[in-house]
Amino acid sequence: MSAVESKLAELGLTLPEVVPPLAAYQPAVQSGPYVYTSGQLPMVEGKLPVTGKVGGEVTPEEAKELARTCALNALAAVKSVAGDLDRIARVVKVVGFVASASDFTGQPAVINGASELLGEVLGDKGVHARSAVGVAVLPLDAPVEVEVQVELAQA
């Protein structure tokens, strides 16, 4: 077990299977030393645990937890192309999308769920640049979607 996966286990988390694509794309691709994930929904065992808009049907606290799940799914996608999460030299950028009720403005706090998970698991390697964007709707009526870009150390 890699050091990163050991850290996940310490946190009571297990790296899930890669979420299959919903359309014509790959969950992650590598270009040079970088791995770019596609947007990861908070799928758990092939299903969304909750749907709807944050600030409406979904509370900000629920959405923050869903963003953690998205980040965990993103790590699984990274591993699928990198082979080993210990190859992560650093997380470069996180982009989070929050399906938001018209008056909801707490997108950064929601996406903190993903950022905090990456920091807990990867330490200083998890510190990254980030965008948190409010949107009208996401695929499958998901409340949140996260994509991650990482740089790999040479194998």
Cα-Cα end-to-end distance for the chain: 17
Residue whose entry in the numeric block shows the structure tokens 């899930």: 16
For 50-106, the pLDDT digits (tens) are 999 999 999 999 999 999 999 999 999 999 999 999 999 999 999 999 999 999 999
What backbone torsions phi and psi does residue 148 show, to the nearest 5 degrees? Answer: -135, 140
Please determine, for residue 138, whether its predicted confidence score (pLDDT) is greater than 90.
yes
Domain 3-152: CATH architecture, name and number where available: 2-Layer Sandwich (3.30)
* Nearest one of 69, 85, 98 to 35, comparing CA atoms: 85
Q: What is the mean pLDDT of residues 128-137?
A: 98
What is the rounded (10 degree) CA torsion for 102, 106, 110, 111?
100
Residue whose entry in the numeric block shows the structure tokens 């970088």: 34
In the prediction, which pLDDT does 1 show? 74
In the prediction, which pLDDT does 154 show? 84
Q: Where are the domains of the chain?
A: 3-152
Q: CB neighbours of 135 closer than 8 A, spacing ≥ 6?
A: 97, 98, 99, 100
Q: What is the pTM of this model?
A: 0.96
Residue whose entry in the numeric block shows the structure tokens 């009208």: 136
In the prediction, which pLDDT does 155 show? 67
What backbone torsions phi and psi does residue 27 show, to the nearest 5 degrees? Answer: -60, -30
